[in-house]
Amino acid sequence: MDLINTKAEFFTKPVLLFTAFFLFLVNFTSGRNNLQPRDYIDVFHYSVNIEINDTTDSVKGITGISLLLNRPADTISLDLASATTGNKGMVVDSILKNGVRTAYIHELNTLRLPSGENGPDDTIIYRIFYHGIPISGLIISENMYGDRTFFADNWPNRAHNWFPCADHPSSRATVDFTITAPSHYQVIATGLLQKKVNLPGKRTTHYWSSNVPVPTKVMVFGAAGFAVEYKGYINGVPYSNWVYPQNAQEGFSDFSVTPEILEFFSGMIGPYPFEKIANVQSTTRYGGMENAGNIFYHEKAVTGHQSIKYTIVHEMAHQWFGNSVTESDWPHLWLSEGIATWLTNWYIEKNDGTQRLNEMLVSQRERIIEFSRANLVPVVYHTENYSDLLNPNSYQKGSWILHMLRRKIGEDVLVRGLAEFYDKFKLSHACSGDFIKIMEGVSGMHLGDFFDDWLFSAGHPVLALNSSFSNGRLNLELIQTQQHKIAFSFPLDIRFVLEDDTIHDHTFDIMFRRHEFILDLPSEPAEIILDPDISLLFELLQ
């Protein structure tokens, strides 16, 4: 089939459908789509065909959606940005259902389609023809060198701004990208390149395909004037770097750390889950975005000084946690960001030492404390603004929870639990309860109270310590002063440094609002240090 002729045919104005069917459609329940899970359908494949150009920011699209109907439903709803008064958004030209033109309603960012006589376990294939200027999600702009670029930037749920989809992390599918662009662009997309076809008018069509199902937040393409470095294979996985020609050598140098990072996580967690690994310099909003198999890094992060090494570690960790194992819903984002942050810390400890890890932990603890002063919310909580979840709770506190869990159940048990969690839920989605169940299974411990304190409760312990020394005895009074929660339960290490530099370390089990302890010491401590080994998330009142 001639791709271009097919497009020309279906970007014409759709014909009117017969009246009875239209009247049936207007009875569909309308309402704003909140991008919630759709358990009545299973979208298992997207075929996204996009044509971009250099004269306008408008794109032409044909998206094929293959889905399974899990139970009877009169209406199937998909997410697609509606046109706005500012001439942005998508305009649907026509839709085919199993090859036959069908009616539809497109309003309030929702595309409503009839399921017809299809029943449970029936597969339906829609082809949706549309055009428009993306409101978001597909960033069409100039890079820092003034060159025009196109980058999909879907997180958290912005894919529906440029192609129709079920835009929720619990929905995952395989995807093909067919991108037609002026021939001076190189194009990268999810999956592997199948072929390129040169077309009249100095245009090229790039065909990319992935057989690994992923959520829409990490299925992307990018088009720019790239310098591309093909580096062969890492454990059988093709590896490449895509950077702007003006700083190609800097980019190739920065990304040269990739092989040992991939091998580190492959050995720890399991085989790399995607068809390729590509690092891509991009003009997008985030410092790094873990798009499956092709990670996008902000253009200005590329310096040639390898200053983004830890960012690369973090985004690489996401290939396992975030992309392969995906949070079942937005409140459980810490299963992506918190685990990736902890894995970055783990990498730092194993490669740069405990001192460097402790520096990171102290810095991350300070960020958590600062955030909680203005936002006293638990790690797992509901919000309608998903970008609000990109906060120290999801990242640093999620990581600190794993750091404290490491002490509670043991390092080897935690690492084994992460590998088991990954193995059970790879290429699927999970919630916090799934994670807790795995950790209880590998440790043989009841962890409900631990996670109630740290994951589902807001804040952290705020401690006040009073002491007095008399007749060889040290009297300690420890008070939890936080107002939002009576008491957290935790082990607290305290180091007592005497005048002669002798050190006495003691561990106290804290579970009440107020504790009193008496210790026999040869002399009054010159210094009392709480948590000397950086093991507890807490705040000390001075």
Domain of residue 255, CATH code: 3.30.2010.30
Pairwise CA distance, residues 272 & 321, whole Å? 11
Same domain, 207 and 339: no
pLDDT, averaged across the chain? 92
Among residues 221, 334, 231, 322, the alpha carbon closest in space to that of 277 is found at 231
Asked if the model's pLDDT at residue 11 lies above 80, the reply is no
Q: How confident is the model at residue 240 (pLDDT cuts 50, 70, 90)?
A: very high
Domain interval for residue 14: 3-225
Among residues 210, 108, 208, 216, the alpha carbon closest in space to that of 154 is found at 216
Total count of domains within the chain:
4
Identify the sign of the CA torsion 94, 98, 101, 102. Answer: negative
Q: What is the arithmetic mean of pLDDT over 264-292?
A: 96
Same domain, 209 and 68: yes
Same domain, 489 and 534: yes
Q: How confident is the model at residue 34 (pLDDT cuts 50, 70, 90)?
A: very low
Same domain, 215 and 237: no
Same domain, 367 and 440: yes
Asked if the model's pLDDT at residue 129 lies above 90, the reply is yes
Pairwise CA distance, residues 538 & 542, whole Å? 13
Query: Tens digit of pLDDT for each residue in 83-105?
Result: 987 789 999 999 999 999 999 99
Same domain, 166 and 53: yes
pLDDT at 15: 29
Complete DSSP assignment for 78-127 = EE-PBP-TTS-EEEEEEEEETTEE---EEETTEEEEE-TT--TTEEEEEE
Asked if the model's pLDDT at residue 287 lies above 70, the reply is yes
Same domain, 217 and 243: no
Measured from the Cβ of residue 285, the count of other Cβ atoms closer than 10 Å reads 14
Pairwise CA distance, residues 228 & 185, whole Å? 12
Query: Tens digit of pLDDT for each residue in 308-356?
Result: 999 999 999 999 999 999 999 999 999 999 999 999 999 999 999 999 9
- Between these two residues, 285 and 312, which has the higher pLDDT value? 312
Asked if the model's pLDDT at residue 185 lies above 60, the reply is yes
**Final residue in a domain of this structure, among 435, 454, 473:** 454
pLDDT at 29: 32
Same domain, 92 and 158: yes
Among residues 87, 85, 101, the alpha carbon closest in space to that of 21 is found at 101
Three-class SS of 51-89: ECCCCCCCEEEEEEEEEEECCCCCEEEEECCECCCCCCE
Q: Which residues pair with 131 in a beta bridge?
A: 60, 91
146 contact partners, CB below 8 Å, separation of at least 6: none
pLDDT at 74: 84
pLDDT at 36: 62
Query: Tens digit of pLDDT for each residue in 415-430?
Result: 999 999 999 999 999 9
Same domain, 359 and 487: no
Asked if the model's pLDDT at residue 13 lies above 70, the reply is no
Pairwise CA distance, residues 259 & 277, whole Å? 10
Among residues 87, 111, 136, 132, the alpha carbon closest in space to that of 33 is found at 111
Same domain, 95 and 125: yes
* Structural tokens at position 491: 């082990």
Q: Which range is least confidently modeled, 116-125, 153-162, 314-323, 414-423?
A: 116-125
Q: What is the arithmetic mean of pLDDT over 228-244?
A: 97
**Final residue in a domain of this structure, among 207, 225, 243:** 225
**Final residue in a domain of this structure, among 225, 256, 285:** 225
Same domain, 534 and 518: yes
Helices vs. strands in the chain: H and E counts, helices first: 11, 29
33 contact partners, CB below 8 Å, separation of at least 6: 77, 79, 108, 109, 110
The CATH number of the domain holding residue 57 is 2.60.40.1730
% of the chain residues with pLDDT over 90: 88
The CATH number of the domain holding residue 470 is 2.60.40.1840
pLDDT at 144: 97
The CATH number of the domain holding residue 352 is 1.10.390.10
Asked if the model's pLDDT at residue 183 lies above 90, the reply is yes
Among residues 277, 271, 210, 216, the alpha carbon closest in space to that of 241 is found at 277
Same domain, 292 and 401: no
pLDDT at 84: 86
